[in-house]
Structure 1
Amino acid sequence: MKKKMTMALASAALLVGLASGCGNNDAGGANAGTNTNTGEGAATEAPKKDVTIKIFQFKVEIAEALEKLAAEYEKETGVKVDVETHGGGEDYSALLKAELAAGEEPEIFNSSGWAGFDPYVDRAADLSGEAWAKDLVEASKAQISRDGKLLGMPMNLEAYGFTYNKDLFEQAGISELPKTVDELSAAVEKLKSAGITPFALTSEWWSMGIHTLNMALANHEDPAAFISDVKEGKATLKDDPTMKEWIKLVDIMFANGQANALTTDYNTQVAEFATGKYAIIQHGNWIQGMIDEVDPDLNLGMMPVPLLGDTANVFTGVPNNWIVNSKSDQAEEAKAFLNWMVTSETGKRYISTDFKFVPALTSIEANAEAIGDIAGDFAAFSQEHPDRVLGWHWDHLPDGITQQWGAAMQEYLGGQISADDLLGKLDKAVQDIVKK
């Protein structure tokens, strides 16, 4: 089946356009990147030869392609780039902190934005004056800016909802996507009646503790304000009406997945979904490359997630950022590599084609075929329903909370605790971290 090129072509422009609405305006630096190339953040000079820079990165989906890109850079400049990848089932944040605590200072590392970036602000080089900064999608900047300075390069734009197998839905007689939780439940029953396992689940803490929880957080009228109230003890998740509705959604997912969900890691989850074993997976366009390695012709779409009423939503944001370590002696060479990655024809080709990214820079054109059906379906929905594209809000929480949330979700998936116990544990995780 040919990929839906018109849909996918729309996705690049769409994701860039919708980003102007998905970013928050409650952090400094919303205008970062418009500075002229003067002062400390001036455009980077050509790199020195006979040096090595290390990239400590988390995105397992691009690990192999990033290593090939590093080899291209060494061939062109003489600068060696070592890539070390930790992700998937590993706790990247904990491993990065251990790396830094041991006195290792990788030249480039990854960090999320907002509160997730707080532990690294003191070692992040100012990138405001880099030549590429002016081309960033506007809403990608605030999450990685402080005091008017751009302190990282947004990696890309991503979106998620329920990625689903269109052929399996048709096989089960599902002609319309569910708009409510009750309709989702009915669709699940149709899938089961057709002998199809509805959900491909995983026990990964980050999938449940971040993406699943965000479905509830993002559905609040003001997610950042709600999270702030929870941190300050003015509100609780256990007493929140939206969280109680969210439990109904989670129950549908957990009760209708594969039997060995508690022992299924991310790679296995995606690989098995790619073989057509399951109808729905809670991931976004970042899995397109992994899917294509198994079956590039799998007929996929992105289904908005029903939760409150009949306004099902999808969720989009910047997944991570490239941070240049100012404490490294090779910080300028690290800046030069990032500059080359987003301005050279070789680097731009890798970003759009090999990484299969929706770029966070307007100067890089997305590769419609590489992006694939998931992003294309998202684009179509978002163009029609821009008000139902919600943001990513977990990074308003201090590091450590989502890890504890994920652990509690694992217990709930395993049937070890009740729904009330789960919500209580989610609240306790916030207070445990906030009080430290």
Structure 2
Amino acid sequence: MKLKGKLLLILSLLIVSALMLVGCGSKESKQAADQVTVDIFQFKVEAKDALESAVAEYMKENPNVKINVQTVGGGDDYGAALKSKFASGQEPAIMNMGGMQDVKDWIEKLEDLSDQPWVDKAFNGTLEAVTADGKIYGMPFAQEGYGFIYNKSIFEKAGIDADSIKSFDALQAAVKKLDAKKDELGLKAVISFPAKETWVTGLHLSNAAFANEFSDVVEAFNAKTIDFKYADAFKKLIDLQANYGYKPDGTKGSLNAVDYSTQVEELFALEQVAITQQGNWAYGSIAGIDEEVAKNIGFLPIPVVGAKEDSIPVGIPMYWAVNNGKDESVKDAAKDFLNWLYTSEKGKQMIIHDFKFIPPFKGYEGENLEPTDPLARDILKYSNQDRTMPWVFMGYPTGWGMDKLGADIQSYLAGDLSWNQLVENAKTTWAESRK
């Protein structure tokens, strides 16, 4: 009987142990099933490290979510890379959209974000470019602005009052004064003009002209034709930078070899030039070379003769979008991460201090949430003074600004195309793109 009792006890223990193992296995299986993977495919190279840090913080708080980040940008064509991703079957859960044309091109793949908690916090004018049929398909990245970035120390040494530059004539006079003192100021040239970067010329600089032809991005997007009303003013801006820009071999054609790295890191950050056309995103590149130079820079306006001469373009550079073809659990995690990044206290701190973004949402009023770099502060100054123009280039026909206008600007600088022909080409290619 004792032996029988012992056998029963051993059998009971074995059964209990087996049940515990089954229970643990079930728990582990459930945890594995709950794991969600979110792939982000984004273009903003200068935000890569900050985004990866934010992802790491989010995953600490949400251990069931695995987020992978892949960045394609800089000199690469993000739009083409995104199409390749989809074609290969490696569709990301979170991707970037540039505005109205991208929404139109990708709408079958975009999740409706209208019910997201950040929507009510978005500033006026930041969601129109990603709204279609009353639905919101994108979350704004940040507010950004661009103009002629100038070195305050060099201007002071040259005896130029930057605050007085509110017209093209005043800008041109300052450039000529800097050119006359180039040797004593230790400059290679007054300006660094990256004509190789057609997004700088064909998108950003041309926007100054077309922001005064169209009232907003929606009007530009719907326009079947352009008048190119401010073509002469645009030419003045091109010629000023070409005439006083750093030319690798001394010819205007060699401006087409000047890229972003040469423009910002080799010339401006090393104080080889006094002025360059770029946006607040360039602050990190400049600070990475020389923090002291980066602390002492600001924005001059991009003056359009006959229209706004004291303003800078301010807008939304890109939007986050969610792939509607993913599983619900993946889409929910993707939306939760984006909302956490811009509205949680930890996320907001990172947006300001790590990403160095100018937030496109309300709720950043605290002292520790104010922009820290001088370019971001200047953008707020211009905005508060109502000295801004919209980003209408987001409404250009797909590829028109970079592939058509930007390429023609390169031909003009090389002496292969007259300005009148450039203007006619711009009108023709725009109209053809809208058919």
TM-score, normalised with respect to structure 2: 0.81
Between the aligned partners of 2:158 and 2:33, the Cα distance in structure 1 is 60
Provide, for residues 142-194 of structure 1, a one-character-per-residue CA deviation record: whole Å limited to 9, x for no partner.
Answer: 22112222211111111111111111112222224433323322211111111
Cα shift at 1:393: 0.2
Between the aligned partners of 1:274 and 1:291, the Cα distance in structure 2 is 5
Between the aligned partners of 2:165 and 2:428, the Cα distance in structure 1 is 34
Indicate the percent of aligned positions where both proteins have the same amino acid. Answer: 37
Q: State whether structure 2 residue 254 is matched by structure 1 residue 269.
A: no
Aligned to 1:149: 135
Contact kept, 8 Å, 2:155 with 2:274, in 1: the verdict is yes
Contact kept, 8 Å, 2:98 with 2:394, in 1: the verdict is yes
Cα shift at 1:57: 0.6
Cα shift at 1:326: 0.5
Alpha-carbon spacing, 1:302–1:100, altered in 2? closer, same or farther (3 Å): same
Partner SS, residue 358 of structure 1: coil
Q: State whether structure 2 residue 379 is matched by structure 1 residue 378.
A: yes
Contact kept, 8 Å, 1:156 with 1:358, in 2: the verdict is yes
Aligned to 2:213: 220
Provide, for residues 63-93 of structure 1, a one-character-per-residue CA deviation record: whole Å limited to 9, x for no partner.
Answer: 1111122222223322221111111111111
Between the aligned partners of 1:221 and 1:98, the Cα distance in structure 2 is 33
Aligned to 1:304: 301
Segments of 5+ residues of structure 1 without an aligned counterpart are 1-46
Alpha-carbon spacing, 1:136–1:381, altered in 2? closer, same or farther (3 Å): closer
Alpha-carbon spacing, 1:428–1:101, altered in 2? closer, same or farther (3 Å): farther
Between the aligned partners of 2:354 and 2:221, the Cα distance in structure 1 is 39
Contact kept, 8 Å, 2:224 with 2:430, in 1: the verdict is no
Partner SS, residue 278 of structure 2: coil
Of 169, 178, 190, 1:198 maps to 190
Cα shift at 1:377: 2.5
Of 147-156 and 406-415, more deviation after overlay is shown by 406-415
Alpha-carbon spacing, 1:103–1:65, altered in 2? closer, same or farther (3 Å): same
Q: Which residue identity does 2:379 align to in structure 1?
A: F
**TM-align CA RMSD:** 2.3
Aligned to 1:186: 173
Alpha-carbon spacing, 1:62–1:210, altered in 2? closer, same or farther (3 Å): same
Provide, for residues 252-300 of structure 1, a one-character-per-residue CA deviation record: whole Å limited to 9, x for no partner.
Answer: 1122111133222223322121221211111121222222222223211
Contact kept, 8 Å, 2:218 with 2:395, in 1: the verdict is no
Aligned to 2:241: 253
Contact kept, 8 Å, 1:114 with 1:395, in 2: the verdict is yes
Of 356-365 and 305-314, more deviation after overlay is shown by 305-314
Aligned to 2:398: 399
Between the aligned partners of 1:223 and 1:333, the Cα distance in structure 2 is 34
Partner SS, residue 415 of structure 1: coil
Q: Which residue identity does 2:354 align to in structure 1?
A: D
Provide, for residues 275-328 of structure 1, a one-character-per-residue CA deviation record: whole Å limited to 9, x for no partner.
Answer: 212111111212222222222232111111222247322111111110011112
Contact kept, 8 Å, 1:171 with 1:194, in 2: the verdict is no
Partner SS, residue 340 of structure 1: helix
Between the aligned partners of 1:70 and 1:336, the Cα distance in structure 2 is 12
Aligned to 1:282: 277
Aligned to 2:17: none
Cα shift at 1:356: 0.2
Aligned to 2:340: 340
1:117-132 equivalence runs, <5 A: 117-132=103-118
Cα shift at 1:364: 3.4
Segments of 5+ residues of structure 2 without an aligned counterpart are 1-31, 249-254
Alpha-carbon spacing, 1:361–1:368, altered in 2? closer, same or farther (3 Å): closer
Provide, for residues 187-235 of structure 1, a one-character-per-residue CA deviation record: whole Å limited to 9, x for no partner.
Answer: 1111111113221121111111110110100122636687468x534x4
Q: Which residue identity does 1:210 align to in structure 2?
A: L
Between the aligned partners of 1:363 and 1:379, the Cα distance in structure 2 is 16
Contact kept, 8 Å, 2:349 with 2:369, in 1: the verdict is no
Between the aligned partners of 1:114 and 1:201, the Cα distance in structure 2 is 29
Of 232, 249, 270, 2:224 maps to 232
Between the aligned partners of 2:264 and 2:235, the Cα distance in structure 1 is 24
Aligned to 2:201: 208
Relative contact order, CA 8 A, sep 6+: which one is greater? 1
Aligned to 2:11: none
Aligned to 1:416: 416
Between the aligned partners of 2:399 and 2:376, the Cα distance in structure 1 is 30
Partner SS, residue 159 of structure 1: strand
Of 260-269 and 205-214, more deviation after overlay is shown by 260-269
Of 411-420 and 201-210, more deviation after overlay is shown by 411-420
TM-score, normalised with respect to structure 1: 0.81
